[in-house]
Amino acid sequence: MDGPLPTGRPTSVEAGRATSEDLVTNAWPAEVQPQPAMELNAFADLVWARGMEQYRDLPWRHTRDPYAVWISEVMLQQTQVSRVDGRWQRWLDRFPTVEALAQASQADVLAEWQGMGYNRRALALHHAAGLVVQAGEFPTCVKDLMALPGIGPATAAGIRAFAFNLPGVYLETNVRSVFLHELYPNEINVPDKRLVPLVEAACPRDDVRGWYYALLDYGAWLKRTTSNPSRRSRTHTRQSEFKGSHRQKRAAVVRMLLAAHDAGEGLCAKTVARELTCQEEADGRDAVSVEYASKILSELEAEGFCSCSSGEWVM
């Protein structure tokens, strides 16, 4: 495996070579033509140029360790870059290798994840780390990557691109924004099935890593300076309010389970209902019933966060 790039910048831009020569083909797929028409070469040159202008020197761009890249990809899902910068480094300090993550306790993994949201992702990381260690090496093919818990098509493509410089369809929100802005500027409700062949055709043979950095950085800039193009995707959904939601209560219960674990204790539904009620009433919302607290605990148990014995849940 090659070492990290000196600066992490897209190498095609640095070298100044004719970027269109990197393309597998010089034409868009015949079955999917963007509107208004823009030649593939022109699109590629535009993205490289904008990527160079808007390049972000992020810490996870200075490694090709697939484990470190994987952690960054999971952390960056629906999370601002500013929140991940710092937390990614702290995670790697605590769990520096996939072996260290696999050997850690579930409670330690969840405790380190707190504040990142979506606790299921921490469980998936822990489980997947064990499978990678069991296999003896980090997978590189899409099928094997997607067989791991919590890894979908975009995460698999990101690991392949940024750790191994292998081509793939890395269709995340910033990448999607570029294709929608440049190739479908006047359309709404654009399905990903129209974008996938375009993303695949535009991916270069050589500098996959730099190409996707360019797309990510141009896309991030577009979302800051224009009406967010990704909102015109059929996949776009507005995230529901977190305060007072079921998700917020679940997250609070996970924190309670962690605190109880540290104290060597278990949690009963009455205690959970009482603590949740204090939080809810302080914010002007209704009390939480014991039945509702039991529902949350049972959900978390079914997902592997905790187990129940004699009416108490423990992590």
Catalytic residue positions, numbered = 73
CB within 8 Å of 210: residues ≥ 6 apart: 9, 10, 11, 12, 13, 51
From CA 204, how far away is CA 27, in angstroms rounded?
Answer: 12
CB within 8 Å of 18: residues ≥ 6 apart: none
Token digits for 219? 């896309």
Nearest to 130 by CA among 72, 65, 84, 67: 67
| Residue 309, φ and ψ in degrees, nearest 5 | -145, 125
**Residue 60 DSSP label:** G
Q: What separation in angstroms does the CA of 119 have from each of 125, 148, 276?
A: 10, 17, 18
The interaxial angle of helices 40-53 and 192-202, nearest 10 deg, is: 80
Token digits for 149? 């818990």
From CA 147, how far away is CA 315, in angstroms rounded?
Answer: 26
Buried/exposed code over 209-226 (b: 16+ C-beta within 10 A; e: otherwise):
bbbbbbbbbbbbbbbeee
Judge residue 124's burial from the number of C-beta atoms within 10 Å of its C-beta, 0-12 exposed, 13-18 middle, 19 or more buried.
middle
Between CA 13 and CA 194, with CA 145 as vertex, the angle to 5 degrees is 60
Q: What is the DSSP string of 218-234?
A: HHHHHHHHSS-GGGGBT
